[in-house]
Amino acid sequence: MQRTRRAGIVRSLSVAVVAALALPASAQAHHTAVPIVALDYRNRIDPGGARLAGVHASLADAGRRLRLRVDPGRAVVVLGYLGEPFLRFAPTEVMVADRSPTAQSLGLARPAGTPRSAPTDRAARWAALVSGHELTWADARVWAPASALRNRGTVTWSVPLVVDGRRAQVTGELTRAARPALWPWLVLGLVGLAAAGVAARRRPWPAAIGLALSASAATLAALAGFALAGFALPPERWLLFAAELTLVAGGAAALRRSRLRLAAVSVLAAFAVVQALSELGGVFRHGVVVSALPASAVRATAALGLGCGLGAAALVFVATSPAGAARAPDRFPATSRRRPRHVQRS
């Protein structure tokens, strides 16, 4: 009776896992702790354009934002999309032109109605934006949407400046990266399923525990690489990443208790597979992986997480089936070994 009830609980958990796997990646993306995992283009700054006297340009957030640092004593004005004065690096702060259409479109200035023509430097009203000599912003000239790039192999860009009264510019280049081959990672993912197939007839339950732990460890390694990739993550993203760590740690700790092992394996397997299909799936479709780990290492951990997670989920079904329980009843985790109530201890 207890074994039948146990099997019913695990089957219900497994059905929930399968339902979660059926969700599309787009429905899962906004629940993940990492804002972006892979891109189609690499972005770089032209070394000649970055060596402006007293002006230091770099890229942030996977090349999608421009960072400008100006040495004290240099007068630098960044021109906007319409050629209007947009940003000014003053001796002690960075200022924004509140009438600039560029500043208003980027949310750096309060919308006050778009002027009919680009304001001149005299018409610009400057307001303090940040203190210091450095600013990072998402300039559309640095990173265009995929629809604008149109799958071109190379796209050059430039941001005009006025340095000490002289025109200058920061230039760069977007280069399309080829999509990676899929078959090596499919083969690696099949390792977990192959291990599950071998263990299904002999030791399904110990193998399910091992595969679930391996899957969750591989998934956490991939997520940690994304979190440490240099993104400016907001506090809620770090809280979500901490929740994912807590989920895996709690599941691993629950494996030590026989009553919770079935649920723990199901949760760990579901976590790894759902993350691999939703968040990590992009690393197999895009050429640039945004991670502190090498691209091959991220793809390997994603493939192992998916394969081992699916293998663990399959072994849960095998271990809880009547045939599996009959083959290895002593290896199946017992929820309780209590004595019947009518039996009294001597």
Give the residue extent of every domain in the chain. 2-39+178-331, 42-176
Most confident of 5-14, 31-40, 189-198, 333-342: 189-198
For residue range 28-51, what is the model confidence (pLDDT) as tens digits?
Answer: 333 455 567 888 889 999 876 556
Span 208-223, mean pLDDT? 90
Q: What pLDDT was estimated at residue 111?
A: 61
Q: What pLDDT was estimated at residue 31?
A: 43
Average pLDDT, the chain: 78
For residue range 120-139, what is the model confidence (pLDDT) as tens digits?
Answer: 445 568 898 999 899 999 89
User: Does residue 159 register a pLDDT over 90?
Assistant: yes
Under the banding of pLDDT at 50, 70 and 90, the label for residue 297 is very high
Within 10 angstroms of residue 49's Cβ, the number of other Cβ atoms is: 19
Cα dihedral 330/335/338/340 (nearest 10): -90
For residue range 323-337, what is the model confidence (pLDDT) as tens digits?
Answer: 555 454 444 454 444
User: Does residue 84 register a pLDDT over 90?
Assistant: yes
User: Does residue 100 register a pLDDT over 70?
Assistant: yes
Lowest model confidence (mean pLDDT) among 205-219, 293-307, 332-346: 332-346
Under the banding of pLDDT at 50, 70 and 90, the label for residue 95 is very high
